[in-house]
Amino acid sequence: MAQTSKLKVLTIAEYNLIANKDPVGSYDRKTRENLDAIRAKLADRKPHLSDLERRLHDKFKDAQFQALEKKENQVRSEVTRYRLSSRTRRALAWSGSAIAVTVLGLWFVYALVLDAAMQKRVDYMIYERLGQLGMASPQEVKKIKGELDKLERDLLVTKKKNQELAQMIDQMIQNNKVPQNLQVIVKRIYDDPRTKYVKKNGTTELLFDGKRIARYSTNAESWYILGILETGMLKIFYNDEEILEIPAIFGRKDEETPVGEYEIENKLYKPTWYKKEDVNGKTIVRAIPFGDPDHEIGHWWLGMKRLGKPVPGSYGIHGVNVARTNEFFKKNYDHRGGSAGCPNIQEWNLDFLAHVLPKGTPVHIVHEEKWSKSA
């Protein structure tokens, strides 16, 4: 978070994509296109780069990204080349047309039907038989088998790394670790009957149309909320990574949101709102049930328990009047002038947090953001 706060040209997503890449590394086509686009962006806006972005520009300005497919094909080519010794190739050259047709048919079976483990056994049997016929020495058979085994292990490692990379990218999307992606997803699936939140084995799974989009732990220690009064933002962290940045409305003058540390104490669905009102010079508290036209706090109330020195009043994260869809934007002309002290957020963000945040989640309200949450 400290690094990405210093960006002037790149977005957080662009920085995260290129920061740890190798200028001569091998990547799939889509990744190479994205990396080249980021390089071009750094070059085009070079005079405006921050120090961090300038270092990225210097590192990648002459980058030669390699095709991942090419690297795997090279390994396959090496495997094929070592499968035949020089004596074996000469022996095949002496074979007649009938043998060639037979070999070709066997090769199709070998390449298209047999799995890798069976192919390995066939290779060894062929070389061993050639050794018995005097066409390959025992030492050569042993050497070829060793080289073949090593190359096939290398190929398996390469495939495994490619699979892990694909899984990592898929997991990043499914876990919504990019705040911009999650912001869009949460808004699109809100209030859709195909959206389900399922608690299972210490986790909450977010499902859409039967497919899992994300899975989060229900351990409060995995979560952290940072509320920033100066910018009007709630930042949500999961396992020390920011997953969501939410526009928020904080307390107006004389009803400012108290800075300090809290934790999520309770979560109430369709809560009753207790509104203070002046009646005949006296302050009364009116209970307004959910569904009443005057109800102003949305579908959820995420009650916050103050830690340390207590403050008067009751505070929680909640929404706005659900019957007036533009109410949030009307208030948000000044993010510090539309609330009686509680952080107000939009309904789709509130619904997501209500389902995934466990009780006990720490909340820290600050005037301005520091370099890191531990600062």
pLDDT in tens, 197-213: 999 899 999 888 888 87
Span of 66-70, 168-172, 328-332 with lowest mean pLDDT = 168-172
Q: Are residues 234 and 316 in the same domain?
A: yes
Over the chain, what is the mean pLDDT? 78
User: Which of 50-64, 85-99, 267-281 is predicted with the least confidence, judged by mean pLDDT?
Assistant: 85-99
Within 10 angstroms of residue 38's Cβ, the number of other Cβ atoms is: 22
Q: Is the pLDDT of residue 252 over 60?
A: yes
Residue 52 contacts residue 3 (beta carbons within 8 Å): yes
Residues 140 and 224 in one domain: no
Among 57, 295, 318, 355, the active-site one is 318
Report if residue 8 sits inside a domain: no
Is the same domain home to 245 and 323? yes
Q: Examine the domain organization and report whether 245 and 114 are in the same domain.
A: no
State the Cα–Cα distance between residues 163 and 157, nearest whole angstrom. Answer: 10
- From the list 57, 295, 335, 342, the catalytic residue is 342
* CA–CA gap between residue 60 and residue 261 (Å, rounded): 42
pLDDT band at residue 77 under the 50/70/90 scheme:
low
In a shared domain, residues 347 and 245: yes
Q: Give the Cα separation of 328 and 354 in Å (integer).
A: 18
The CA distance from 336 to 375, in Å, is 24
Question: What confidence score (pLDDT) does residue 375 get?
Answer: 40
pLDDT number for residue 5:
56
- Report residue 174 as tokens: 């499914």
Same domain, 117 and 233: no
The values of phi and psi at residue 357, to 5°, are: -75, 125
At residue 227, the 3 state secondary structure works out as strand
Please provide residue 263's backbone torsions phi and psi, each rounded to the nearest 5 degrees.
-145, 155
Residues 6+ apart with CB under 8 A from 111: none
Q: Is residue 42 part of a domain?
A: no
- Helix-, strand-, coil-residue percentages of the chain, each rounded to 5: 45, 25, 35
CATH of the domain at 355: 2.40.440.10
Question: d(Cα 248, Cα 326) in Å, to the nearest integer?
Answer: 14
Question: Coil, strand, or helix at residue 168?
Answer: helix
Cα-based torsion angle of the residue sequence 279, 345, 208, 238 in order, rounded to the nearest 10 degrees: -130
342 is catalytic: yes
Tell me what pLDDT residue 351 has. 95
**Which of 124, 158, 192 is the last residue before a domain boundary?**
158
In a domain? residue 343: yes
Residue 355 appears among annotated catalytic residues: no
| Any domain includes 80 | yes
Percent of the chain exceeding pLDDT 90 equals: 22
Among residues 158, 193, 211, which one ends one of the domains?
158
Residue 273 in domain: yes
Say if 251 falls within a structural domain: yes
Q: Is residue 331 part of a domain?
A: yes
Q: What is the pLDDT confidence band of residue 227, given thresholds at 50, 70 and 90? A: very high
The answer to whether residue 197 is domain-embedded is no
In this prediction, residue 263 carries a pLDDT of 96
My answer on whether 117 and 245 are in the same domain is no
- Hey, is 195 helix, strand or coil? strand
Q: Do 121 and 249 belong together in one domain?
A: no
Regarding whether 235 and 146 lie in a shared domain, the answer is no
The answer to whether residue 166 scores a pLDDT higher than 50 is no
**Banded pLDDT at 81 (limits 50, 70, 90):** low
Kindly state whether residues 125 and 224 are assigned to the same domain. Answer: no
Q: Is the pTM of this model over 0.75?
A: no
Task: For residue 320, give its domain range.
Answer: 220-366
CA distance 316 to 303: 4
| Calpha distance 130→142 (Å, rounded) | 12
CA separation, residue 39 to residues 8, 136, 153, 183 (Å)? 15, 52, 35, 26
| Cβ 168 vs Cβ 156: under 8 Å | no
**pLDDT tens for each residue of 283-331:** 888 899 998 888 888 899 999 999 988 888 889 999 887 665 555 655 5
Element (DSSP H or E) covering residue 66: strand 66-67
Asked if pLDDT for residue 43 goes beyond 70, the answer is yes
Q: Which amino acid does the sequence have at 271?
A: P
CA dihedral 170, 171, 174, 176 (to 10 degrees): -110
Torsion angle (degrees, nearest 10) of CA 291, 293, 297, 300: 10
Instruction: Please give the backbone phi and psi of residue 111, each rounded to the nearest 5 degrees, phi first.
Output: -80, -35
100 neighbors 107 (Cβ within 8 angstroms): no
Task: Work out how many domains the chain is built from and give that number.
Answer: 2
Residue 109 is encoded by which pair of tokens? 């079976």
First to last CA, the chain: 12
Q: What is the pLDDT of residues 13-22, one digit of tens each?
A: 888 888 888 8
Does 134 share its domain with 269? no
| Across 123-137, average pLDDT | 68
Percent of the chain scoring above 70 in pLDDT: 66
> How are beta strands 26-27 and 66-67 bridged, if at all?
parallel
Domain limit, last residue, from 158, 187, 203: 158
Let me know: does 232 contact 336? Beta carbons within 8 Å. Answer: yes
Q: Report residue 188's pLDDT band, with 50, 70 and 90 as the boundaries.
A: confident
- Mean pLDDT, to the nearest integer, of 351-370? 93
pLDDT at 216: 93
